[in-house]
Amino acid sequence: MSEKPSTEMLASGSRIASVKSLSFTEAMEGLPPSMIQLLVVLAPTIDVVHRALLLVTWRGGYVTRVQSWILLMGYVLTCMYGYELLRYAPQALLLLVLGYTWLCRSFARVTSQRRASDECGTGQTLRKAVSQLADIADFVSAVYECLLRPVHDVLCWKVPGYGPVQLVVFLLASWPLWLLCVLPQHLWVTPFYYAKTTLSALGASAPAVALSNYYHAHIVPAVYAHMTTNAPRLVALFTKLSVWTNVYLVPVVRSWDLAHMPLKLQMFPPFPIAALTLRHVLLVGGVIVLTWCSPWATLIRAALWHSAFVRHVVMTVVRVLSGSETVASRLRPKPQPKQKNRAADEFETEFVFEIYENQRWWIGLDWTAALLPQERPSWSDSENHAVAPPASFSLPQGSRIFMPSSRVSGKDDLRTTQWRWIDSEWHVAGVQSITSSSYTPKKSMKASEAQRLSKELATEPTEPVEVPEDIKDVARPMAEPGVSVDVDDEGWQYGDNAWEKLSKQSGMGRYTRRRRWLRKAVLIQSVEYGVQRSS
């Protein structure tokens, strides 16, 4: 897992952000036509997804919260009766959709409002779609950082102190409990019923009947006479228990015959043992997801977490299940930083900048950065476009953009972006020891001189050159097994005259080479909601 940038690294290499507003004309000119077409086509879908996001996160005011309650109740009813509805009345779903669209059309006609489908392609619709996409991107980034990325790091062995080993132990330990809950009820009752039937059949056999008659005719009277003489109080107690059992317990047990007793969730066994189904899992999980961001659920979690007893119990359970102190220590409350005046969210996205250093081999000059005019530049990106070398490469400039707020009507959201370096300097891919501070480029000849040499070489007659045996042993075809396409000790990859067949092997026929310089940076995006734009 990548570490957060330190203060020293973040302090260096940042660019000052410029303030500007989101102009629709500039945004459309900056987007390719295919992207504009996609926004026009998907604008209604984006609006539906954004509306669902507002309902799930309980944002948007009183009306949206009422709709969130309706969504929660609808989900509960779907989990409880969705299967029966799909099985016995699937036509009702289409009837509900038709009824909903008819009500929407009627409401729009009465209130003289245009539908969203009638406004496709307008500037207001596209501007709204861009704003909603930005809000959706913020939510996805938050979910990735808080949920998806930690799970991915655990599954990929990237978390020290708590790895897949503890996760495997937890899964194996919880598997019997899961089976105890999800196995059907008849699998628990059937073995006991078969045992009862088998014992009844054995008791009805001739040897068992003869043994029972002998026991009741000779052993029981002798034992009873001995106990009456030596332990009369014990005999009286057994007599009372026998009478109570025959009068009260036996009729109840016979009425609850295991062969015919209906096992309900509220009766036997206790829920969720032998009663948990996929419907229950979806119901509980969905209710937790739909109510996680609600104000009352947030208040309850905060109130419970303020209790030292609750924190101690949770950390103890986590410590026992994980077998690690690291995870439990992360749950301890930390001092909260000072809150800003406005509600703001901050997201970080890491990028890797890569620059290719290209060189060509010339007779008598060895490897030099002077390339032919018609080929790639000496410093290029992955698409062979000219870029600045690492010594003079600078990060993109930050920006501050006002966009229509998707949360507070009538106000704007201030979105600030800023680039900062994570790595202190550039390094060569595959060779961490070669950095931009320790590398000194060689002096190269001018491009005109390189072009003149190339023309002279092209006009001179060439003779076949005999390849030495020691070179043949080193230069193997790339298709052969065991050939590595990695870089050499200095990070170079060598190719032919057309920059093809790149490999780490240098020698005959290798006239070009390149190596890749890498440096990590982080894009910090902060969003302040409900900002009043100054005129």
Q: Same domain, yes or no, for 467 and 355?
A: yes
Whether residue 465 lies inside any domain: the answer is yes
The three-class DSSP label of residue 226 is: helix
The total of other beta-carbon atoms located within 10 Å of residue 114's CB is 9
> What pLDDT score does 471 carry?
30
pLDDT tens-digit readout, 319-359: 776 666 665 566 666 555 554 444 557 777 788 888 888 88
Q: Same domain, yes or no, for 443 and 493?
A: yes
Q: How does strand 366-368 pair with strand 399-404?
A: unpaired
Q: Same domain, yes or no, for 227 and 295?
A: no
Q: Same domain, yes or no, for 50 and 81?
A: yes
> What pLDDT score does 291 carry?
92
Whether residue 325 lies inside any domain: the answer is no
Q: Same domain, yes or no, for 375 and 424?
A: yes
Q: Same domain, yes or no, for 288 and 430?
A: no
Whether residue 516 lies inside any domain: the answer is yes
pLDDT tens-digit readout, 86-125: 888 889 888 988 988 888 788 777 665 555 445 555 667 7
The total of other beta-carbon atoms located within 10 Å of residue 219's CB is 10
Q: Same domain, yes or no, for 513 and 388?
A: yes
Q: Same domain, yes or no, for 67 and 160?
A: yes
Please state, in angstroms and rounded to a whole number, the distance separating the CA atoms of residues 169 and 347.
34
Q: Tell me the DSSP string of 165-205.
A: HHHHHHHHHHHHHHHHHHS-HHHHHHHHHHHHHHHHHHHTS
Q: Same domain, yes or no, for 495 and 432?
A: yes
Whether residue 274 lies inside any domain: the answer is no
Q: Same domain, yes or no, for 302 and 378?
A: no
Q: For residue 503, what are its two tokens?
A: 């490999």
> What pLDDT score does 227 carry?
84
Q: How many domains does the chain have?
A: 3
Burial class (CB in 10 A: 0-12, 13-18, 19+), 203: exposed
Please state, in angstroms and rounded to a whole number, the distance separating the CA atoms of residues 57 and 290.
8
pLDDT category of residue 72 using cuts at 50, 70 and 90: very high
Whether residue 505 lies inside any domain: the answer is yes
Mean pLDDT, to the nearest integer, of 479-497? 65
Of 376 and 164, the structure prediction assigns the larger pLDDT to 376
Residues 436, 518 contacting (CB under 8 angstroms): no
Q: Same domain, yes or no, for 382 and 434?
A: yes
Cα separations in angstroms, 84 against 78, 266, 499: 10, 21, 65
Containing structural domain, residue 210: 185-255
> What pLDDT score does 404 carry?
72
Q: Same domain, yes or no, for 299 and 382?
A: no
pTM: 0.55
